[in-house]
Structure 1
Amino acid sequence: MATLVLTTVGGLVGGPVGAALGGLIGQAADRAMLFKPKGRQGPRLTELAVQTSSYGRPIPRLFGRMRVAGQVIWATDLREHRERQGGGKGQPSLTSYSYSASFAVALSARPILAIGRIWADGNLLRGAAGDWKVATGFRLHLGGEDQLPDPLIASAEGLEQAPAHRGIAYAVFENLPLEQFGNRIPLLTFEVIADAAPVSVGSIARELAAGALVGDGPAQPIHGFSAYGDSSRGVIETLAEMTGAWFTPDGHALAMRDDVIATRTVANDGRQRRVAPLTRVPQSVLLSHYDPARDWQTGAQRAVRHGPGSVSVSVEVPAAIAASTAKTIAAAMLTRAEVQRTRRDLTLDAAAIDVAPGSVVTIEGEEQGGAWRVVAARVERFRVTLTLVALAPPSIPMRASAGRVLRAPDAPAGRTIVRALELPDITGAAAIRPQVTIVAAGTGTGWRRAALHTSLDDGACWVPAGATRAPGIMGIVTNAPGAAAGTLVDRRHTIEVSLLHTDMALTDADPAALDRGANLAAIGNEVLQFGRAAQTGAARWRLSALRRALFGTTAEPIGNGSAFVLLDGNTVVSVPIDAAPGEVLRVMANGVGDDVPAETTQVLTGRSILPPAPVRLTARVAEETLYCAWRRRSRSDWRWRDGVDAALIEERERYRLVITGSGAPTILEADAPFAAVPLAAIAGSPRTVEVQQMGTHGLSPAAILNC
């Protein structure tokens, strides 16, 4: 009966929404306990965690700060990208495929202020600093009533067919790479900032009621709330259940109250109280909520009472609240259920005809009786009968822990630093084209990869060259060593380097590890190894036990400020270049944290495909003949596993000799690592002898001997 009567009253004072809220009051009077059967169609916690793309599903109205998945409201087909590598000079080519997608995700049915972090399949796609972990186009529409159609959607659908989605806040991704998401659109969740500060329950309810509610309402602040459901009534009922609020007529509207301040004292008619059995009260309340301290993952807090009973109640509150607040709310809900076991019926004279349901009263003469809420009022024969329920005192703040937080790493990538080196063949692959070794890293610890492009025409045309590998370890030399022999371990010199950031580290390596290629580094034009690495500062290291002049390089003095690059197999990428020695190569690396791509240049010397200079060059004159001898070296098979001469690798063994006397140089060729030249063929006494090995792709550097 109360439901029917108060629905009619609500319709009179508030229209259709008022009728719904009036019905809510009536239902509260009809139900015996706070914990009634679930009949609302309000928000649930799981509805914010799953990204959907279904027609007819409601879009939540977000308040405060929340994490939501949203709904995909527009998408293109997957876009296929092909990249062809290799295939020059008789070598097979490799075509790789990747995919991207463009789509729009609706977030809130009311305007928002901004977007914070974005997660993709649980990992950060965009960090707290606004930095992207994957390169993508992105636009955010805040949901204003004057917003225009997104340009990408308009270009795909046509300007006349592209909706502006006014009043809907939504995000648009343009060409999001899908490689690391299994070539599918990942499950995205967004940290949405709808309001600048926490919002009160009362302000949320007033906005949802669209004028049917007046007054401040419950002042309980919450970090965020998702008004999601098939009716405003279901959402408002959730808020009322959370705060213990109720509704009362206020002029031509309704007010939402949660206070225990009495507005009137009524007479005591002497009737006894009615107290329901304690077993009808839940013994525990488990309240589930979104916890901002845990990146809006679901948290749960339980309140337990002592005494008889075995019923446990679970309540879902789709609000972002702290663990302590959730514990306090759960305890308050349990206290209200226990206190509201007590009811009274008072029969008063006609002077009490203006006491409306929802009013808070005290009973005359009951100093310890506390406050009572009117849940029903009936007028019969000039007498007013009020049904009262006891009100619980204000809740006591409680403390609770959110538990252990397992957050996705959020390290800014910083800008990309790239190094391009033409090194001797350190892999034994016997390259047939110049090979450029590229290592890249970032100034931030979150840097992962960068797209590579190369240019041989000073940037007029850029050619895709794949992507970098794992972040490299690099820095600059701050204390350079002097020259040293390459035949012994250099224990005299040390090298001090400063790495890019403190998360980069170097380690020691024993002789066995060094033999397997550990701690290989390029410093200037020299390739070397170090056996000891001692940290001397936050990002500073001292390297010792040096193996100098490896892979045919020379152990010349290294200048301060020279680049230091650790040549780890997991971090280097070799890019073949169709170019000739002497050409200038530009390398561009574009990472997700780069406003401007990083660039570096490298003059191709050809030492990646040329044999190293001969060694042990000797020359002596006897019997009017100049006898020269030397040892050749190979550009492959540097470890000398079998104890025999290194493999030739080149098409044939051939050498070029330049002997300089007092006149014009004498140029000769030889098929073996020695030569006998009559002095008569030399213009004057020999002064210098230069020997170069004639490789398949060109001449080696010269071995020079001053006679």
Structure 2
Amino acid sequence: MATLVLTAVGSAVGGPVGGAIGALIGQAVDHTVFAPARREGPRLVELAVQTSSYGSQIPKLFGTMRVAGTVIWATDLIESRATSRSGKGQPSVSTYSYAASFAVLLSARAVLGVGRIWAEGKLLRGAAGDFKTATGFRLHLGGEDQAVDPLIASAEGAATPAYRGSAYAVFELLQLADFGNRIPSLTFEVIADDGMVFVSTIARALAAEVSGTTALAVGGFAAAGGSVGAVLAMLGEAGGAWFAPSGAGLVMRDAAAATVVVADEGFAASGKTSARRARAVAAIETVPRTVSVGYYDAARDYQAGVQRARRPGAGLRDVSVEVPAVLEAGAAKTVAEAMLARAEAGRVRRTLAAGFAAMGIAPGDCVEIAGESGVWRVADSSIEGMVTTLGLVPLVPASLPASATSGRVSGAVDAVIGVTILHAFEVAGLEDAGLSAPRMTVVAAGTGAAWRQAALLYSIDEGVSWVAAGATAAPAVLGTIAVVAPGASTTLVDLRGAFEVILAQADMELRDADAAALDRGVNLAVLGDELVQFARAEPLGAARWRLSGLLRGRRGSEAAAGAQAIGDRFVLIEADAARTFDLPVSVLGRTVRVMASGVGDATPVETRCLMTGASVVPPSPVHLVCAGEVDGSATVRWTRRSRAGWRWIDGVDSPLAEEAEAYRVTVAAPGGTRDVDVVVPTVSVTAAERAAGAVVTVRQRGVFGESLAADLIVPA
């Protein structure tokens, strides 16, 4: 009877849709919660897979939900080519990258925003709003005044819809290298409403004729997968609510609804007492042994979770109910236990005879029987003569909150990329062969552990033109100097001095190196402008390290030894973390500007490199000695060095690495200064110059310029 009555009411209120709602409500009134019935409500799996087909349902979102959405527009793959050259005389290398622009429809009602975004299960956008892959991004919230997206309009023309009333996201030139050069499967954390949402609020938004309040609130809900009636029926089942006619509409009620006290007047109304006061109890086997509730668990990045309630006693039947709403584990457990308790209470059915005054009590109302305890829900009612007969089902009080765990949580890592840290410098070539062009070395890392690469540009004409230089190499280990070691000999191991450095990230590490490893060039670092090797790296905590067992002034950088200041750069030189660029000879003596732009950089990061020639000019001569002659003059000798063969593995003279051996020598004395060019490592000082305390300065001449000076004061 209730089915027919409520179907008629629903049709009167809401037309065919209202009729469907009424029919479903009537079925809920006529049967217990777990009576077999065909359900076509939403399912947990429906929001997990991104689609792009016509006719796909777009859910109406409430609270905060993770949904895949539907691709509604996309470009073909966009190919980009970058050409770089590793060195002078080397062939150019072309690299290709691919990107795509597309739009994803998220909700059939307006939303407040989008939080995290997953691509292939990994975070594309973190909780802080940072993207892990380069892309442009716009979110259209779904307002009724929503404007057309400019990118879609530029491609599709004047007929482009604005999708007013629907929320959608637009990605512009999403780089696809991380996703196999295809548009990845995305899921979005959509914030449609602020905070928890009552199921009655959701019901009222879906069907205007529904009103009322219920105790159950959810973190999020997606209304999709079936008719409005099916969605409302599922919400009512989960929350222990039901629908009853109220004026021209329906009201959603639960156990907390107001009650009406009725008296059992069966004796006075008629002599059919046994019929009107019948009480039936179904067998315990009709009640499920277990009830399982599937739900979305926010603690598990909105993955599906299951909570179960069990009862003791006889019975074999298990019931599974999918509640495609966001719940905490404890709340889902509470729902399962409440559903099981309602099923047990539903075994009892009572028929009560009331007087004519009770004819206003309708199915769905709550009543108390005078002189008895407990609250009952009216399942059906009939009027015969002056007697109102009510079919009653007992209500159970709200379940106490249950405790439960979400189980093992293995959510996607939300590592922060941070901004790019960029260093560019010129040092002597790290190979044993001399370089044929000035070389700039570029290293980079990020302030966040997820930083991977940044696009590079450089300019040799103070920004008038820029050269696209591809991307940075692997993240370098770098930081700043916190404690400066005093200057020390560059020919001995410094066992007393120590640097302390602070690395850019806590997870960056340094390691010790034995003598053999040091000989191979391990643990070579730039500190300020000096190249230093260290044998011992001691962690001090908070990304701070103490470096000792120092080899100073490596590869001809002794002039910078001891010239560091606190805050100067520290960069560990590793082949896979450095990009090198061979530049034209014209850059010598000039500054090269270098610019990097990573995913986490709001604006490009820039640094400068002064090209002094350190990579191509000879190192300064060493071992200057003076020998007096019988005529009072003196002969100054020295040992040349080479910018090739730094390891000196064969024990003989290092290769010259220049076109010819040549030196410019300056002899300065109080009586005057003279320059002399020589092609052997020796020069004569006159007796007068020697007597005046002359200073001899020697510079080796190379293909690209002169070395730094080596000085000797000639003893009188």
Could you tell me which residue of structure 2 aligns to residue 560 of structure 1? 565
Mean Cα displacement is larger for which, 111-120 or 566-575? 566-575
Paired with 2:44 and 2:193, the residues of 1 have a C-alpha distance of 20
Q: Which deviations, in whole Å up to 9, do the C-alpha atoms of 1:31-85 show, x marking residues without a partner?
A: 4x42244633322111222111111111111111112121111111111110000
Q: Say which of 232, 240, 257 aligns to 1:244.
A: 240
Paired with 2:703 and 2:36, the residues of 1 have a C-alpha distance of 87
Paired with 1:300 and 1:80, the residues of 2 have a C-alpha distance of 45
Could you tell me which residue of structure 2 aligns to residue 126 of structure 1? 125
Query: What amino acid does structure 1 have at the position aligned with 2:213?
Result: G
- Are 2:294 and 1:288 aligned? yes
Q: Say which of 174, 177, 186 aligns to 2:172.
A: 174
Q: Contact conserved, 1:655 with 1:691, CA < 8 A, in 2?
A: no
- Are 2:606 and 1:609 aligned? no
Paired with 2:181 and 2:399, the residues of 1 have a C-alpha distance of 51
Q: Contact conserved, 2:86 with 2:580, CA < 8 A, in 1?
A: no
Task: State the Cα distance separating 1:698 from its structure 2 match.
Answer: 4.0
Paired with 1:132 and 1:427, the residues of 2 have a C-alpha distance of 38
Q: Contact conserved, 1:421 with 1:436, CA < 8 A, in 2?
A: yes
Paired with 1:394 and 1:664, the residues of 2 have a C-alpha distance of 103
Could you tell me which residue of structure 2 aligns to residue 26 of structure 1? 26
After TM superposition, list the pairs within 5 Å mapping 1:203-242 onto structure 2: 203-209=201-207, 211-214=208-211, 216-242=212-238
Mean Cα displacement is larger for which, 256-265 or 695-704? 695-704
Paired with 2:288 and 2:433, the residues of 1 have a C-alpha distance of 75
- Are 2:568 and 1:571 aligned? no
Q: Contact conserved, 2:197 with 2:220, CA < 8 A, in 1?
A: yes
After TM superposition, list the pairs within 5 Å mapping 1:434-445 onto structure 2: 434-445=438-449
Identify if the C-alpha distance between structure 1 residues 313 and 636 changes in structure 2 by more than 3 Å, giving closer, same or farther: farther
Task: State the Cα distance separating 1:392 from its structure 2 match.
Answer: 2.3
Could you tell me which residue of structure 1 aligns to residue 77 of structure 2? 78
Could you tell me which residue of structure 2 aligns to residue 162 of structure 1? 160
Paired with 1:678 and 1:344, the residues of 2 have a C-alpha distance of 126
Could you tell me which residue of structure 2 aligns to residue 7 of structure 1? 7
Could you tell me which residue of structure 2 aligns to residue 412 of structure 1? 416
Q: Contact conserved, 2:330 with 2:404, CA < 8 A, in 1?
A: yes
Task: State the Cα distance separating 1:634 from its structure 2 match.
Answer: 3.1
Paired with 1:653 and 1:428, the residues of 2 have a C-alpha distance of 19
Mean Cα displacement is larger for which, 110-119 or 640-649? 640-649
Could you tell me which residue of structure 1 aligns to residue 195 of structure 2? 197
Q: Contact conserved, 1:324 with 1:398, CA < 8 A, in 2?
A: yes
Percentage identity across paired residues of the two chains = 52
Q: Which deviations, in whole Å up to 9, do the C-alpha atoms of 1:511-552 show, x marking residues without a partner?
A: 344334332211122101122233456344332211111112
Mean Cα displacement is larger for which, 497-506 or 131-140? 497-506
Could you tell me which residue of structure 2 aligns to residue 66 of structure 1? 65
Paired with 2:545 and 2:510, the residues of 1 have a C-alpha distance of 8
Q: Which deviations, in whole Å up to 9, do the C-alpha atoms of 1:626-655 show, x marking residues without a partner?
A: 7564433332332233434434444x4422
Could you tell me which residue of structure 1 aligns to residue 50 of structure 2? 51
Paired with 1:645 and 1:237, the residues of 2 have a C-alpha distance of 91
Query: What amino acid does structure 2 have at the position aligned with 1:212?
Result: E
Query: What amino acid does structure 2 have at the position aligned with 1:318?
Result: P
- Are 2:677 and 1:668 aligned? yes
Identify if the C-alpha distance between structure 1 residues 675 and 544 changes in structure 2 by more than 3 Å, giving closer, same or farther: closer
Mean Cα displacement is larger for which, 251-260 or 388-397? 388-397
Query: What amino acid does structure 1 have at the position aligned with 2:81?
Result: R
After TM superposition, list the pairs within 5 Å mapping 1:519-534 onto structure 2: 519-534=523-538
- Tell me the SS of whatever aligns to 1:353: helix
Q: Which deviations, in whole Å up to 9, do the C-alpha atoms of 1:180-229 show, x marking residues without a partner?
A: 122111222222111122111111001101x2212x23131211111112
Root-mean-square deviation over aligned CA pairs: 2.8
Task: State the Cα distance separating 1:620 from its structure 2 match.
Answer: 4.0
Q: Contact conserved, 1:481 with 1:558, CA < 8 A, in 2?
A: no
Task: State the Cα distance separating 1:553 from its structure 2 match.
Answer: 1.5
Q: Contact conserved, 2:293 with 2:332, CA < 8 A, in 1?
A: yes
Q: Contact conserved, 2:377 with 2:393, CA < 8 A, in 1?
A: yes
Could you tell me which residue of structure 2 aligns to residue 422 of structure 1? 426
Q: Say which of 539, 548, 567 aligns to 2:552.
A: 548
Could you tell me which residue of structure 2 aligns to residue 374 of structure 1? 378
Task: State the Cα distance separating 1:279 from its structure 2 match.
Answer: 1.6
- Are 2:484 and 1:488 aligned? no
Q: Say which of 329, 332, 335 aligns to 1:329.
A: 335
TM-score, normalised by the number of residues in structure 1:
0.91
Task: State the Cα distance separating 1:94 from its structure 2 match.
Answer: 0.5
- Tell me the SS of whatever aligns to 2:360: coil
Paired with 2:99 and 2:201, the residues of 1 have a C-alpha distance of 42
Paired with 1:694 and 1:118, the residues of 2 have a C-alpha distance of 60
- Are 2:262 and 1:258 aligned? no
Q: Contact conserved, 2:24 with 2:230, CA < 8 A, in 1?
A: no
Identify if the C-alpha distance between structure 1 residues 44 and 430 changes in structure 2 by more than 3 Å, giving closer, same or farther: farther
Q: Say which of 641, 648, 659 aligns to 2:649.
A: 641
Mean Cα displacement is larger for which, 467-476 or 602-611? 467-476
Could you tell me which residue of structure 1 aligns to residue 269 of structure 2? none
- Tell me the SS of whatever aligns to 1:73: strand
Q: Contact conserved, 1:416 with 1:593, CA < 8 A, in 2?
A: yes
Paired with 1:379 and 1:517, the residues of 2 have a C-alpha distance of 100
